[in-house]
Amino acid sequence: MIEISAHQSPINNQLAVTGSKSESNRLLLLNQLFENVLKLENVSNSEDSQLMQKALANQSDLIDIHHAGTAMRFLTAYYSIQNDRNITLTGSERMKQRPIKVLVDALNKLGAEISYQENEGFPPLQIKGKKITQDSITIPSNISSQYISALCLIGTKLENGLTINLDGKIISVPYIQMTIQLLNRAGIKANFEGNTISIPFTASIQSQTIQVESDWSSASYYYSLIALSKNSEIKISTYFEDSLQGDSALQTIYTDNFGVISTFENGILTLKNNPEFQFKESIELNLINTPDIAQTIAATCVGLKAKCHLTGLETLKIKETDRLVALKNELEKFGAIITITDDSLTIEGYQDFTETPTLETYNDHRMAMCMAPLAQLFTIRIKDEMVVEKSYPTFWEDWKQLGFTIKSI
């Protein structure tokens, strides 16, 4: 457990943030499918991406990806088309509680051979790699975008290509668009129009260098910190205004609701306060396209004692933990009065609190990091703080660099 105490003076620092986990994992799998012809720069040093690389290099018949959810989904699809492989894909106890039935059903409908070793619908999985010739599938569109992205990636290697028909209202659209745009950047003529995704069979791609942009969800903690600080400025790299990442919506969300100004120059993003900003009495946001920044936004609201109503949060229940319950439990320690439903979180007001908040992290990296900016206002304690390694291993070192006092207790 650590105790973090406030930085008393204005913040003025520059930090380099590791590459996007979402972009890195897609490109790592794509590179493996095309015999490593891509040179990837600024690949995420997150635990998830490291586990992905280890798994792709692992020639044994047992692959353990611990609690790397993206790797579980992407590798389920990848191994289903590896003709010569018969593997068991497993993970942590929490991973064994995270549903994967929709993806397994879709792959099996296409002709894959995947079965459950323990509980129906959940890892561990037995995957016998096969040649898949079927070329179309219809799946519900209100599911995790990672299932859809996994199918898009392997569709490039199905001899007849793959058409994915999405049935119903699509959630997390930007993550699907990111996958399609990364395929396009690599030279694959993938297309996403309306509710249909078309992935052509692609025999080979040109050798090229692709730079992975830094992770916008990691940037969210600095947006939050600036929103809770006066006369402060942080420069972070490597970020681009025309980002592929849906979480780059942070720019608009934090300008409109929290008065944080974003400017870009040569891959460096500068964040600073707008001194004339007038805060709203209540903040209303639909985060269906950006669920990974919901925790940060809720914590920012608590720091400002702002009321809020956040919707579009249905996927938060199937993440590393049930993030809606976790947020309610932990933010109430700061006096927030919170109600949650299956897809929303509402902060209705605040009451006084006196104890130093001691925060649980639920084996969820984002639960640790989204709370850190609150240390600008209150001394806080965070349990199991190294859970941040999942996506941002140098997080606490970077916060020491910003001037925060962090000590183990």
- The residues annotated as belonging to the active site are 292
- Please name every residue paired with 113 in a beta bridge, in sequence order, or none if there are none: 128
The CA distance from 195 to 75, in Å, is 24
The CA distance from 100 to 181, in Å, is 25
DSSP string, 361-388: -TT-HHHHHHHGGGGGTS-EEESSGGGG
Contacts of 93 (CB under 8 A, 6+ apart): none
Q: Are strands 260-265 and 208-211 parallel, antiparallel or unpaired?
A: unpaired
The owner of tokens 């400002």 is 304
The CA distance from 292 to 295, in Å, is 7
- Please name every residue paired with 192 in a beta bridge, in sequence order, or none if there are none: 197
The CA distance from 20 to 30, in Å, is 15
Is the distance from CB of 267 to CB of 237 less than 8 angstroms? yes
Is the distance from CB of 397 to CB of 26 less than 8 angstroms? no
Residue 123 φ then ψ, to 5°: -60, 160
The CA distance from 227 to 25, in Å, is 30
- Please name every residue paired with 123 in a beta bridge, in sequence order, or none if there are none: none
Please state the separation of Cα 307 from the chain's center in Å.
Answer: 25
Question: Which of the 8 DSSP states describes residue 180?
Answer: H
